Amino acid sequence: MEQNFQTSFIPKKPVIEQRVTPVRSVSALTIISLFILFAVLLGTGGLYFYKVSLEKSIVQMENDLNLARDRFEPSKITELQTLDKRLRDSTEILSKHTAATPIFQALSDITMQTVRYTKFAYETAEGKSGEGSKVGIKMSGIAVGYRSVALQSDLFAKNKNFISPIFSNLTLDPSGNVQFDLEFSVDPAFVNYKKAFLAEN
């Protein structure tokens, strides 16, 4: 007895099995790390291009400077530098130079007719920075009596440009006149040559 087998080529179960892949979530730490990585890469690239740009700019400026320097005559530049040094030196000398003319003018204004001077000497000493040269005056003179010396001392004390006037060694000569020595210092601004010159002009 023959048995009938029915065969079917259609599979009853799918041949390919579907695999289920688990979904992985991206953590916040990974996102932050990627952001920092991109920021560092961008910053490094930007700094590199900025450095290249600066180097090109420096080379260009050096070329421009050399061109400008070549346009001027080197001998003329040396001459101008020498002139500038001389002007600076003369300005410094002028600012420290003292003039005795204002002292004589002030003495002429305050000296009484009964007093005359027989000796005059002055010496300068460099003061502290910015003060200029201090001037010390030493004089000798003759006055008609002690009263003339006292009045002359008052006139010196009233003059603000004469500092600490001291009359000393008062002696009578055979004629009855009083011989004296006088010593005082002068305000440095009063004998500054530049100020005196500007005042006269």
Predicted structure pTM score: 0.48
What does the pLDDT average to over 109-128? 83
- Domain span at residue 113 reads 98-200
User: Is residue 121 one of the residues assigned to a domain?
Assistant: yes
Q: What is the pLDDT of residues 144-156, one digit of tens each?
A: 989 999 999 999 9
User: Is residue 188 one of the residues assigned to a domain?
Assistant: yes
Q: Which of the given ranges, 52-61, 93-102, 116-125, has the highest pLDDT on average? A: 52-61
Contacts of 96 (CB under 8 A, 6+ apart): 132, 133
User: Is residue 33 one of the residues assigned to a domain?
Assistant: no
User: Is residue 68 one of the residues assigned to a domain?
Assistant: no
| Helices marked H in the chain | 28-71, 74-96, 101-110, 145-158, 193-200
How many domains does the chain fold into? 1
- pLDDT band at 44; cut points 50, 70, 90: very high
User: Is residue 143 one of the residues assigned to a domain?
Assistant: yes
The CATH number of whichever domain residue 173 belongs to comes to: 3.30.980.50
Question: Which tokens is 148 given?
Answer: 């003339």
- pLDDT band at 130; cut points 50, 70, 90: very low
Q: Which residue has the higher pLDDT, 75 or 41?
A: 41
